[in-house]
Amino acid sequence: MSLTLTSDAFATGQSIPAKYSCVGTNISPALAWNEPPAGTKSFALIVDDPDAPAGTWVHWVLYNIPANTHNLPENTDMRGLSVGKNSSGNMRYDGPCPPNGTHRYFFKLYALDSTFSLSPGATKEQVLNAMQDHILAQGELMGTFSK
């Protein structure tokens, strides 16, 4: 089963507005998704840029998002959420900020059959390892950005 991940800020394959980037106010865009499969206990969200010169750059890691959540508002208040560390070393959303050219930014949402006992600031790799064999469904939204 797949999840349909959408944003009212941009459509898949379209440009992410500057306000959600390092040249704007650097706030997270609103995200919404459909009903997950039965047995979903939590969600995880990973936002990354595979076009970064030094390899995939992680912009946002959230996990243990409650199963009854079906959206994250613009400029999500992350208090009470499990926030991982991004490639900048921050435990927050850091928006698109490509050094040159147009980059793709993948917002990946996972419906999971459990929650995880990871320390705050877990890395993308730690979250992905914990999720192995626990993914019930996933969805993706890709936007582009250039400065």
- Would you state the pLDDT for residue 104? 98
Amino acid at 145: F
pLDDT of residue 7 exceeding 80 = yes
Percentage of residues of the chain with pLDDT beyond 70: 100
Mean confidence (pLDDT) of the chain: 96
Where do the domains of the chain lie?
5-145
pLDDT digits (tens, 9 = 90+) for 94-143: 999 999 999 999 999 999 999 999 999 999 999 999 999 999 999 999 99
129: Cα within 13 Å, side-chain hemisphere:
7
With a cut of 80, say whether residue 1 has pLDDT above it.
Answer: no
The CATH class that applies to domain 5-145 reads: alpha beta
